[in-house]
Amino acid sequence: MAERDLIRAFERILRVRSERVLLASGDDAAVVRAGGVAVTSVDAIVEGVHFELDTHSPGDVGHKALAASLSDLAAMGAEPGEAYVVLGTPASFGESRAIELVEAMESLAERSGVTIAGGDVIAAPALTVSVTVVGWAGGERDLTYRQGAEPGHLVGVTGALGGSMAGLLLLRGADADLDEAERDALLLRHRRPEPQLAVGAALTEAVVGAMIDVSDGIAADAGHIAERSGVSVEVRLGELPLAAGVEAVARAAGRDPLELAASGGDDYELLFTAAPDRRETVESTARAAGVTVTWVGSVSAGAGVRLVGPDGRPVELSGYEHP
Amino acid sequence: MAERDLIRAFERILRVRSERVLLASGDDAAVVRAGGVAVTSVDAIVEGVHFELDTHSPGDVGHKALAASLSDLAAMGAEPGEAYVVLGTPASFGESRAIELVEAMESLAERSGVTIAGGDVIAAPALTVSVTVVGWAGGERDLTYRQGAEPGHLVGVTGALGGSMAGLLLLRGADADLDEAERDALLLRHRRPEPQLAVGAALTEAVVGAMIDVSDGIAADAGHIAERSGVSVEVRLGELPLAAGVEAVARAAGRDPLELAASGGDDYELLFTAAPDRRETVESTARAAGVTVTWVGSVSAGAGVRLVGPDGRPVELSGYEHP
C-alpha cells in the first residue's frame, strides 16, 4: 500500500473534535484557531527501545505514544487540543497493523477530546511513533509548572504507583500468584496507561504549587521538581501508594516493592506540591475527579531529593535516575 | 553521554527568538503566547530512506529536516514561529555529530526567525529527525491554501527547478562537465534546500489563488492543487525554469532534463496560481523578495494535470507520482 493510500485510510478513521480546528488535513499544514497560550510537548517511542512487538499489540503502541504526550499536558493542567503524529513503519509491518495502531490512537483521542490534526507517514527500520500534542490555556497563570514548589509545601501523588513496572515484569515472565483481574489490571497499566488530564486540570484550578507526571519514576521526577524550584523534596517511601499486585510481583521477581514504586516509570500519575492550607481542597478536588491522592512527602529549603525508608532512615536507590 | 546531558548541551545551543515563547524547555511542555491561527506541519526524515550519511553531513541532515517543515509554512504564507524536534540516534552516532546536527538546525532557525522550543532525544536504530513546526497568521484569510485555484488562473513557480535532483545524481556519481561553482550550487541545493518563507508570505499578501511547495516534483504538486481545487492544471514543460547545470547533469546521467525539472522533488520552490490581473503584482512582489517568477501553465475547468511538451503535445511522465 502506497503512503498516500495509507494516509487516506487514516483520514477516514480520524475525526475533528473542536471548532478550533479549521483545517486538519489535505493541505501543507493544519490550521487551528489560537488564543491564550499554546502548550506543546513532543514524545517518541521506538520498537526495541521503548516497547517490543511481541508484548505490545500495534494498538498498545499507538495508545502509549499518544498517552505519553498527553500526560505532559496533564502535568501542566492544560486543556488537551490537537495531536500531530509521525508514523514510521518497516515494510514488514503492513497496512492492517498500521490501521489498528491509528484506530487505538483515535480511540484515546476521542476519550480525551483531542483531534489528531496532522501527520506524516514514512518508511523506517523499526516501528517509530512520534507525537506532538498541543494543549491550550487562558494564560500562563492557568498552568502548573515544575518550578512552583516552596518550602513547607506538602508532596502528593495521584492514584497508585509501580503498576506499569509490575506489568512489565509480568510480561517478562515474573511468576506471581495473582488473580486474573489483578494481573490484567497490571498488564493494562503497562500497555495502555491513562493520562490524568481531568485531575491535572482540576488540581491546577485548586492552586497546586508544582506538578509533573510520573514518567521517570517518582524519585527522579521529584528530583526534577526540586531542581526547577530550587528546593529540597523529601519522599517517604513507606507511604507510597502501591498498585494492587505490585508487592506479589516484586516478590516473584526478587525486587523490592518500594523500589518498583519509587523508580518504576510510565505510571503517568501526577506528582505535585501544595501549601498545607490547600490540603483539603486538593483532596476534595481529586475526589470529585474520581481520583485518590496520597501525601508522601514535604518540601524544605535546600536542594535535591531525600528518600526516607519505612524505618525513617535515608535510602539510596541505585539507578533511580532514568538513563 | 546520557540523554539528559545531550539535552543540556542542546539547550546551550538553542536561543529563544520571540516574545511569544514564554517557556522553551525544562518543564513538561513548552508554553507559547497564541493568537490568530496556528499553522502546524510535521515532517520526518530517516537515514537510508531520505538521506545517506555518506553523502550528507550531520549538519546537512539537521538543516534538511527543519527546511522541509518550514517549506510547508512558506507554502501557506504563515509567519514562522516555533519548532519541536525529536532526534533519534543510534549509539554509534555519537555526541559530537548530534551537536553538529543541532547547530545546523539552530543556524537555519536563526535565519528564519524560528525558535526551537522543545524536543525529545531517543535511541533509534537509524538516524531519525522528526520536526513539528508552528507558524502564525492573523486569521484563515491571511493564508494561501491548495484549494484556491480557479479556471482562468495563471500558474507560476518561483526560482529554478531540478537542482536538488541534479545534486543527488552528482552525489551518485553522474560525471557532468560542470564548473566548480555550478557543481557546488547543485550539491548545496540538494543538501541544504532553503524554505521560501519571505516570498511565500509576500505572495500570500499579493493575493495568490492556490499555493504548494515543490516537494514531490512540480507535476505531482500541480496534481495536489488540481485535486483540492477541483480544477484541471496544465503545465508547459518547455517553460519550466531549469537550475544552472541541470541540462548537463541530465545528459551525463542519461536522463531528460525536463523530467528532472518536472518530477525531481525537494526543490522547495513555490508553485502557485493567480488571476491574470494579478500578474504584474505577483512579479513585482517576488522581485521585491529577491526571487524570480516564471509562468509555466494555466488552470481550466476539469480535473487532473495536463503536461504539455515543448512541441505542444501531451506528455506522460512515468513515475511522476511520488511513492
pLDDT in tens, B126-138: 999 999 999 999 9
Task: Kindly determine whether residue B134 and residue A38, on different chains, have CB atoms separated by under 8 Å.
Answer: yes
Q: Is there a contact between A33 and B37 (Cβ–Cβ < 8 Å)?
A: yes
Q: Best of A6, A28, A215 to disrupt the B interface by mutation (most B CBs within 10 Å)?
A: A28
Task: Kindly determine whether residue A32 and residue B26, on different chains, have CB atoms separated by under 8 Å.
Answer: no
pLDDT digits (tens, 9 = 90+) for A55-75: 999 999 999 999 999 999 999
By Cβ distance, the residue of B32, B35, B140 closest to A31 is B140
Instruction: State yes or no: pLDDT of A2 exceeds 80.
Output: no
**Which of these, A179, A79, A172, A169, lies nearest to A133 by C-alpha position?**
A79
- Contact list in B for residue A140 (CB cut-off 8 A) is 22, 31
**Which of these, B218, B199, B206, B195, lies nearest to B148 by C-alpha position?**
B206
By Cβ distance, the residue of B22, B23, B72 closest to A28 is B72
Q: Is there a contact between A122 and A23 (Cβ–Cβ < 8 Å)?
A: no
Would you kindly state where each structural domain of chain B is located, as residue ranges?
3-142, 146-308
Question: Which of the following CATH numbers is that of domain B146-308: 3.30.70.260, 3.90.650.10, 3.30.70.100, 3.40.605.10?
Answer: 3.90.650.10
SS3 letters across chain B: CCHHHHHHHHHHHCCCCCCCEEECCCCCCEEEECCCEEEEEEEEEEECCCECCCCCCHHHHHHHHHHHHHHHHHHHCCEEEEEEEEEEECHHHCHHHHHHHHHHHHHHHHHHCCEEEEEEEEECCCCEEEEEEEEEECCHHHCCCHHHCCCCCEEEEECCECHHHHHHHHHCCCCCCCCHHHHHHHHHHHHCCCCCHHHHHHHHHCCCCCEEECCCCHHHHHHHHHHHHCCEEEEEHHHCCECCCHHHHHHHCCCCHHHHHHHCCCCCCEEEEECHHHHHHHHHHHHHCCCCEEEEEEEECCCEEEEECCCCCECCCCCCCCC
Distance (Å, whole) CA B323 – CA A211: 45
- Contact list in B for residue A28 (CB cut-off 8 A) is 41, 72-73, 75-76, 146, 212-213
**Structure confidence at residue A318 as a pLDDT band (50, 70, 90):** low
Q: How long a stretch of residues is chain B?
A: 323
CB pairs under 8 A between A and B: 187
pLDDT at A320: 42
Those residues of chain B that have pLDDT short of 70 are 1, 318-323
Parallel, antiparallel or unpaired: strands B211-213 and B270-274 = antiparallel
pLDDT at B4: 80
Closest residue, chain B, to A28 (C-alpha)? B72
pLDDT at B323: 32
Query: How far from A119 is each of A87, A98, A195, B147, CA to CA, in Å?
Result: 8, 14, 21, 19
pLDDT at A1: 53
- Classify residue A243 by its DSSP letter: P
Distance (Å, whole) CA B77 – CA A240: 52
Parallel, antiparallel or unpaired: strands A37-46 and B30-33 = antiparallel
pLDDT at B1: 54
Instruction: State yes or no: pLDDT of A227 exceeds 50.
Output: yes
Q: State the nearest Cα–Cα gap between B49 and chain A, in angstroms.
A: 7
Q: Is there a contact between B193 and B242 (Cβ–Cβ < 8 Å)?
A: no
DSSP letters for A14-79: -----TTEEE-SSSSSEEEE--SEEEEEEEEEEBTTTB-TTTS-HHHHHHHHHHHHHHHHHHHTPE
Closest residue, chain A, to B43 (C-alpha)? A120
Q: Is there a contact between A159 and A196 (Cβ–Cβ < 8 Å)?
A: yes
pLDDT digits (tens, 9 = 90+) for B278-300: 999 999 999 999 999 999 999 99
Q: Is there a contact between A2 and B44 (Cβ–Cβ < 8 Å)?
A: no
- Contact list in B for residue A134 (CB cut-off 8 A) is 38, 40, 134
Instruction: State yes or no: pLDDT of A323 exceeds 50.
Output: no
pLDDT at B208: 86
Say which CATH topology domain A3-142 has.
60s Ribosomal Protein L30; Chain: A; (3.30.1330)
Q: Which of residues 121-150 of A touch B (CB under 8 A)?
A: 122-126, 128, 130, 132, 134-136, 140, 143, 145-147
pLDDT at A265: 84
Residue B253 — left, alpha, or beta (φ > 0 → left; ψ -120 to 50 → alpha)?
alpha
- How confident is the model over A94-115, as a mean pLDDT? 97
Q: Best of B14, B42, B208 to disrupt the A interface by mutation (most A CBs within 10 Å)?
A: B42
Grid coordinates of B93 = 552516532
pLDDT digits (tens, 9 = 90+) for A159-205: 999 999 999 999 999 999 999 999 999 999 999 999 999 999 999 99
pLDDT digits (tens, 9 = 90+) for B167-192: 999 999 999 999 999 999 999 999 99
Whether the CB of B1 is below 8 Å from some CB of chain A: the reply is no
pLDDT at B318: 57
